Structure 1
Amino acid sequence: MRFIFAALVALFTGLSTPQAMAQESDVRAVIAAQIEAFEADDFEQAFTYASPTIRQVFRTPENFGVMVQRGFPMVWRPADVRFLELENRDGALWQDVMVRDVAGDVFILEYEMIELDAGWKINGVRIRPAVGTA
């Protein structure tokens, strides 16, 4: 819940068009909902926000959950989540998210998003070092 406030603040700052605002809001809502599902250990729900490609790779919510716990523990149990820029990069839409883990370490996660008939889905996440943040 602590990151919902950050999402709302970010939503109302720096946006230029109603369409861009709606897109950013929708993208951030998907990421926030997946993180909430991880916090509740609801890997089945978290898996629903993954793209078909990700779902095919991991096949089951359980496999997906194990990957997140081992590879992205800061997302599984975040202390703080803040949405940064939403950008088109090389033909893909990327949402940057700053995550602080329970130890106080800061990570910038880059979420690749794709839009399907069913709405926005997460098509991959990569970790970028959070240089200059404390």
Structure 2
Amino acid sequence: MRKLMLMSVCIAMMALPISATSEARDDAITGVIDDQIAAFLRRDAEAAFAYASPLIQGVFGSPDRFAEMVQSGYPMVWQPVEVRYLALRTVAGSLWQRVMITDPEGRVHLLDYQMVETAMGWKINAVQLLTDDAPTT
């Protein structure tokens, strides 16, 4: 009986670091998205650009061009009223954070953020608009 209890305690303790690591990763990922959205709300293109992956930075080349793309292609991200984090999942080896954003008109949009871990922390590597006609809440 004692051996069984000791094994149970050991197994539970081994699971803690995995859970804590996973939770820290999840918090870091949502923190990056939160920080980029906060930069958009402040109209700070340079700060927002810093949260983009090196690939995205290379594609757009400058914070101003990146900000123009977000304003025209993802206006709900440029000026959200509400942001909710849904599932973080792995798809084909990549981490994707599902985000529900409510725009100023009350429309709800679902987006997937592809996240990559770099030497400088988590970065946003892609954003995919899943729907722009979800029912309002």
- TM-score higher than 0.5 here? yes
TM (norm. structure 2) is 0.83
Q: What residue in structure 2 maps to residue 3 of structure 1?
A: none
Task: Name the SS for the 1:78 alignment partner.
Answer: coil
Question: Which has more radius of gyration?
Answer: 2
Q: What residue in structure 2 maps to residue 70 of structure 1?
A: 72
Gaps of 5+ in 2: 1-17
How does 1:1-134 map onto structure 2 within 5 Å?
17-129=19-131, 131=134, 134=137
2: CA distance, partners of 1:116 / 1:49: 11
Q: Determine if contact 2:107/2:134 at 8 Å carries over to the other structure.
A: no
Question: RCO greater where, 1 or 2, for CA within 8 Å and sep 6 or more?
Answer: 1
2: CA distance, partners of 1:81 / 1:131: 14
Displacement after TM superposition at 1:132 (Å)? 5.7
2:120 partner letter: A
Runs (4+) of structure 1 exceeding 4 A deviation are: 130-133
How many residue pairs align between the two structures?
Answer: 119
Gaps of 5+ in 1: 1-15
1: CA distance, partners of 2:135 / 2:81: 19
Higher helix share: 2
